[in-house]
Amino acid sequence: MSNGSLYTNIQNNIATVAFFHPASNSFPSELLVRLANTFNELSNNNNVHVVVLKSEKEKAFCAGASFDELIAISTLKEGKQFFLGFANVINAMRNCNKIIIGRIQGKAVGGGVGLAAACDYCFATEQASIKLSELTIGIGPFVIEPVVTRKIGLAAFSELTLDATSWRSAYWAKEKGLYAKVFATLKELDKEVENFAVKISNYNEEALYELKKVMWKGTENWCEILEKRAEISGKLVLSESTKKALYKFKK
Protein backbone atom coordinates (compact mmCIF):
# COMPACT_ATOMS: atom_id res chain seq x y z
CA MET A 1 0.00 0.00 0.00
CA SER A 2 2.95 2.35 0.57
CA ASN A 3 3.59 2.24 -3.18
CA GLY A 4 -0.09 2.54 -4.01
CA SER A 5 -2.28 0.20 -6.00
CA LEU A 6 -3.31 -0.24 -9.62
CA TYR A 7 -6.11 -2.47 -10.83
CA THR A 8 -7.53 -3.21 -14.27
CA ASN A 9 -11.01 -4.61 -14.79
CA ILE A 10 -12.24 -5.63 -18.25
CA GLN A 11 -15.95 -6.10 -18.90
CA ASN A 12 -17.90 -5.87 -22.15
CA ASN A 13 -14.85 -4.60 -24.05
CA ILE A 14 -14.34 -1.75 -21.54
CA ALA A 15 -11.13 -1.69 -19.50
CA THR A 16 -11.29 0.33 -16.29
CA VAL A 17 -7.88 1.27 -14.90
CA ALA A 18 -8.06 2.44 -11.27
CA PHE A 19 -5.10 3.75 -9.29
CA PHE A 20 -4.75 4.72 -5.64
CA HIS A 21 -2.16 6.12 -3.26
CA PRO A 22 -2.80 7.26 0.31
CA ALA A 23 -0.96 10.54 -0.36
CA SER A 24 -3.74 12.17 -2.41
CA ASN A 25 -3.37 9.64 -5.23
CA SER A 26 0.17 10.77 -5.98
CA PHE A 27 2.49 8.54 -7.99
CA PRO A 28 5.71 6.95 -6.78
CA SER A 29 7.98 5.83 -9.62
CA GLU A 30 7.02 2.18 -9.31
CA LEU A 31 3.33 2.96 -9.79
CA LEU A 32 4.07 5.11 -12.85
CA VAL A 33 5.97 2.20 -14.41
CA ARG A 34 3.01 -0.08 -13.78
CA LEU A 35 0.58 2.45 -15.30
CA ALA A 36 2.67 2.88 -18.45
CA ASN A 37 2.95 -0.91 -18.82
CA THR A 38 -0.80 -1.25 -18.36
CA PHE A 39 -1.58 1.11 -21.23
CA ASN A 40 0.93 -0.69 -23.44
CA GLU A 41 -0.71 -4.03 -22.67
CA LEU A 42 -4.25 -2.76 -23.21
CA SER A 43 -3.22 -1.25 -26.52
CA ASN A 44 -2.68 -4.76 -27.90
CA ASN A 45 -5.63 -6.42 -26.17
CA ASN A 46 -8.25 -7.35 -28.76
CA ASN A 47 -10.87 -7.72 -26.02
CA VAL A 48 -10.59 -4.02 -25.15
CA HIS A 49 -12.24 -1.32 -27.28
CA VAL A 50 -12.06 1.62 -24.85
CA VAL A 51 -10.24 2.45 -21.61
CA VAL A 52 -11.52 4.40 -18.59
CA LEU A 53 -8.87 5.94 -16.33
CA LYS A 54 -9.91 6.76 -12.77
CA SER A 55 -8.53 7.11 -9.26
CA GLU A 56 -9.97 5.70 -6.08
CA LYS A 57 -11.75 7.56 -3.26
CA GLU A 58 -13.71 10.79 -3.65
CA LYS A 59 -11.17 13.53 -2.97
CA ALA A 60 -8.09 14.22 -5.12
CA PHE A 61 -7.87 12.75 -8.60
CA CYS A 62 -4.08 12.96 -8.59
CA ALA A 63 -1.53 15.06 -6.73
CA GLY A 64 1.21 14.38 -9.26
CA ALA A 65 4.49 12.59 -8.60
CA SER A 66 5.66 11.44 -5.18
CA PHE A 67 6.99 14.36 -3.16
CA ASP A 68 9.11 12.11 -0.94
CA GLU A 69 10.89 10.69 -3.98
CA LEU A 70 11.40 14.18 -5.36
CA ILE A 71 13.19 15.30 -2.20
CA ALA A 72 15.40 12.19 -2.20
CA ILE A 73 16.91 12.87 -5.65
CA SER A 74 20.67 13.37 -5.36
CA THR A 75 22.11 12.87 -8.88
CA LEU A 76 21.27 13.99 -12.39
CA LYS A 77 20.65 10.39 -13.41
CA GLU A 78 18.15 9.93 -10.59
CA GLY A 79 16.50 13.23 -11.44
CA LYS A 80 16.05 12.43 -15.10
CA GLN A 81 14.76 8.95 -14.31
CA PHE A 82 12.25 10.36 -11.82
CA PHE A 83 10.77 12.81 -14.32
CA LEU A 84 10.72 10.19 -17.05
CA GLY A 85 7.98 8.49 -15.02
CA PHE A 86 5.18 10.73 -16.23
CA ALA A 87 6.85 11.09 -19.64
CA ASN A 88 6.58 7.34 -20.18
CA VAL A 89 2.94 7.31 -19.07
CA ILE A 90 2.04 10.17 -21.42
CA ASN A 91 3.76 8.42 -24.32
CA ALA A 92 2.02 5.15 -23.49
CA MET A 93 -1.35 6.92 -23.44
CA ARG A 94 -0.85 8.72 -26.75
CA ASN A 95 0.44 5.52 -28.39
CA CYS A 96 -2.34 3.38 -26.98
CA ASN A 97 -4.57 2.10 -29.77
CA LYS A 98 -7.67 2.59 -27.64
CA ILE A 99 -9.63 5.74 -26.84
CA ILE A 100 -8.98 6.71 -23.20
CA ILE A 101 -11.75 8.33 -21.16
CA GLY A 102 -10.73 10.25 -18.05
CA ARG A 103 -12.94 10.24 -14.95
CA ILE A 104 -11.72 13.24 -12.96
CA GLN A 105 -13.59 13.25 -9.66
CA GLY A 106 -11.37 15.64 -7.69
CA LYS A 107 -8.46 18.05 -7.73
CA ALA A 108 -5.53 17.53 -10.08
CA VAL A 109 -2.09 19.00 -9.50
CA GLY A 110 1.04 18.93 -11.66
CA GLY A 111 1.37 15.49 -13.22
CA GLY A 112 -2.29 14.88 -12.44
CA VAL A 113 -3.18 17.65 -14.87
CA GLY A 114 -0.89 15.96 -17.38
CA LEU A 115 -2.76 12.67 -16.93
CA ALA A 116 -6.11 14.35 -17.56
CA ALA A 117 -4.72 16.10 -20.65
CA ALA A 118 -3.36 12.81 -22.01
CA CYS A 119 -6.86 11.31 -21.97
CA ASP A 120 -8.76 11.55 -25.24
CA TYR A 121 -11.97 12.67 -23.53
CA CYS A 122 -12.57 13.77 -19.93
CA PHE A 123 -15.56 14.04 -17.65
CA ALA A 124 -15.24 15.79 -14.29
CA THR A 125 -17.07 16.94 -11.20
CA GLU A 126 -17.25 20.50 -9.92
CA GLN A 127 -14.57 19.53 -7.38
CA ALA A 128 -12.04 18.80 -10.15
CA SER A 129 -10.12 22.06 -10.00
CA ILE A 130 -6.55 22.14 -11.33
CA LYS A 131 -3.20 23.72 -10.50
CA LEU A 132 0.35 23.66 -11.85
CA SER A 133 2.42 24.50 -8.78
CA GLU A 134 5.88 23.43 -9.95
CA LEU A 135 7.38 26.93 -10.00
CA THR A 136 6.72 27.30 -6.28
CA ILE A 137 9.34 24.64 -5.58
CA GLY A 138 11.85 25.83 -8.15
CA ILE A 139 11.10 23.58 -11.11
CA GLY A 140 8.50 23.74 -13.89
CA PRO A 141 5.94 21.51 -15.63
CA PHE A 142 8.34 20.81 -18.49
CA VAL A 143 7.47 17.15 -19.06
CA ILE A 144 3.71 17.64 -19.12
CA GLU A 145 3.79 20.95 -21.05
CA PRO A 146 3.40 19.41 -24.53
CA VAL A 147 0.32 17.39 -23.59
CA VAL A 148 -1.29 20.19 -21.56
CA THR A 149 -0.62 22.84 -24.23
CA ARG A 150 -1.97 20.48 -26.91
CA LYS A 151 -5.21 20.29 -24.94
CA ILE A 152 -5.81 23.81 -23.61
CA GLY A 153 -3.47 26.03 -25.66
CA LEU A 154 -0.31 27.94 -24.82
CA ALA A 155 -2.07 30.96 -23.30
CA ALA A 156 -4.01 28.85 -20.79
CA PHE A 157 -0.91 26.77 -20.01
CA SER A 158 1.08 29.95 -19.37
CA GLU A 159 -1.64 31.26 -17.07
CA LEU A 160 -1.64 28.03 -15.07
CA THR A 161 2.14 27.84 -14.88
CA LEU A 162 3.00 31.42 -13.97
CA ASP A 163 0.17 31.81 -11.45
CA ALA A 164 1.47 28.74 -9.68
CA THR A 165 -0.31 29.27 -6.36
CA SER A 166 -3.86 29.61 -7.70
CA TRP A 167 -6.45 26.94 -8.43
CA ARG A 168 -8.51 27.05 -11.61
CA SER A 169 -12.06 25.72 -11.37
CA ALA A 170 -13.41 22.72 -13.22
CA TYR A 171 -15.52 25.10 -15.29
CA TRP A 172 -12.39 27.06 -16.26
CA ALA A 173 -10.82 23.77 -17.32
CA LYS A 174 -13.94 22.90 -19.33
CA GLU A 175 -13.90 26.29 -21.05
CA LYS A 176 -10.27 25.72 -22.05
CA GLY A 177 -10.97 22.24 -23.41
CA LEU A 178 -9.51 19.97 -20.72
CA TYR A 179 -12.92 18.61 -19.70
CA ALA A 180 -15.81 17.85 -22.03
CA LYS A 181 -18.50 17.98 -19.34
CA VAL A 182 -18.64 18.92 -15.64
CA PHE A 183 -21.17 17.42 -13.22
CA ALA A 184 -22.44 18.50 -9.81
CA THR A 185 -22.30 15.03 -8.27
CA LEU A 186 -20.17 11.91 -8.42
CA LYS A 187 -23.26 9.86 -9.22
CA GLU A 188 -23.95 11.95 -12.32
CA LEU A 189 -20.31 11.70 -13.35
CA ASP A 190 -20.19 7.92 -13.08
CA LYS A 191 -23.45 7.52 -14.99
CA GLU A 192 -22.16 9.63 -17.88
CA VAL A 193 -18.76 7.89 -17.94
CA GLU A 194 -20.46 4.49 -18.07
CA ASN A 195 -22.91 5.51 -20.80
CA PHE A 196 -20.19 7.12 -22.90
CA ALA A 197 -17.83 4.16 -22.53
CA VAL A 198 -20.56 1.75 -23.63
CA LYS A 199 -21.32 3.93 -26.63
CA ILE A 200 -17.65 4.14 -27.67
CA SER A 201 -17.12 0.40 -27.16
CA ASN A 202 -19.80 -0.34 -29.76
CA TYR A 203 -18.29 1.79 -32.50
CA ASN A 204 -16.18 0.35 -35.32
CA GLU A 205 -12.90 -0.58 -33.64
CA GLU A 206 -10.85 0.13 -36.75
CA ALA A 207 -12.44 3.58 -37.10
CA LEU A 208 -11.59 4.35 -33.46
CA TYR A 209 -7.99 3.27 -34.03
CA GLU A 210 -7.64 5.48 -37.11
CA LEU A 211 -9.30 8.39 -35.29
CA LYS A 212 -6.87 8.06 -32.40
CA LYS A 213 -3.95 8.41 -34.82
CA VAL A 214 -5.51 11.51 -36.35
CA MET A 215 -6.12 13.12 -32.96
CA TRP A 216 -2.49 12.65 -31.94
CA LYS A 217 -1.00 13.68 -35.27
CA GLY A 218 2.16 15.75 -34.85
CA THR A 219 3.27 14.08 -31.62
CA GLU A 220 5.46 11.44 -33.23
CA ASN A 221 8.65 12.98 -31.79
CA TRP A 222 7.41 13.21 -28.22
CA CYS A 223 9.60 10.36 -26.94
CA GLU A 224 12.65 12.49 -27.71
CA ILE A 225 11.07 15.76 -26.57
CA LEU A 226 9.81 14.45 -23.23
CA GLU A 227 13.14 12.80 -22.49
CA LYS A 228 14.89 16.16 -22.96
CA ARG A 229 12.28 17.83 -20.75
CA ALA A 230 12.89 15.20 -18.05
CA GLU A 231 16.58 16.04 -18.14
CA ILE A 232 15.82 19.76 -17.69
CA SER A 233 13.69 19.02 -14.63
CA GLY A 234 16.29 16.58 -13.35
CA LYS A 235 18.91 19.34 -13.37
CA LEU A 236 16.67 21.93 -11.76
CA VAL A 237 15.68 19.70 -8.86
CA LEU A 238 19.36 19.50 -7.84
CA SER A 239 19.81 23.26 -7.60
CA GLU A 240 20.37 24.79 -4.17
CA SER A 241 17.32 27.06 -4.41
CA THR A 242 15.07 24.13 -5.31
CA LYS A 243 16.40 21.97 -2.48
CA LYS A 244 15.70 24.79 -0.03
CA ALA A 245 12.18 25.23 -1.39
CA LEU A 246 11.50 21.50 -1.15
CA TYR A 247 12.62 21.24 2.47
CA LYS A 248 10.68 24.37 3.37
CA PHE A 249 7.58 22.98 1.71
CA LYS A 250 7.89 19.66 3.52
CA LYS A 251 8.27 21.36 6.91
Q: What is the pLDDT of residues 35-78, one digit of tens each?
A: 999 999 999 999 999 999 999 998 999 999 888 898 899 999 99
Q: Which residue intervals of the chain are DSSP H helices?
A: 29-43, 67-72, 76-95, 111-118, 145-152, 154-162, 170-176, 186-201, 205-215, 222-236, 240-250
Q: What is the pLDDT of residues 177-230, one digit of tens each?
A: 999 999 999 999 999 999 999 999 999 999 999 999 999 999 999 999 999 999
Mean pLDDT of 155-163: 98
Query: What is d(CA 15, CA 50) in angstroms, rounded to the nearest whole number?
Result: 6
What's the pTM value of the predicted model, to 2 decimals? 0.95
Q: What is the pLDDT of residue 240?
A: 87
Q: What is the pLDDT of residue 246?
A: 81
Beta-carbon contacts of 151 under 8 Å, excluding residues fewer than 6 positions away, are 117, 176, 177, 178
Q: What is the pLDDT of residues 106-115, one digit of tens each?
A: 999 999 999 9
Name the CATH superfamily, with its identifier, for domain 5-201. 2-enoyl-CoA Hydratase; Chain A, domain 1 (3.90.226.10)
The number of angstroms, rounded, from the C-alpha of 103 to the middle of its chain's C-alpha atoms is: 11
Say if strands 14-20 and 5-11 run parallel, antiparallel, or are unpaired.
antiparallel
CB atoms near residue 156 (< 10 Å): 19
Q: Is the pLDDT of residue 249 over 60?
A: yes
Q: What is the pLDDT of residue 38?
A: 98
Query: What is d(CA 71, CA 180) in angstroms, rounded to the nearest whole number?
Result: 35
Specify the 3-state DSSP secondary structure of 52: strand
Q: What is the pLDDT of residue 251?
A: 67
Query: What is d(CA 109, CA 130) in angstroms, rounded to the nearest whole number?
Result: 6
Q: What is the pLDDT of residue 87?
A: 97
Specify the 3-state DSSP secondary structure of 10: strand
Q: Where are the chain's structural domains?
A: 5-201
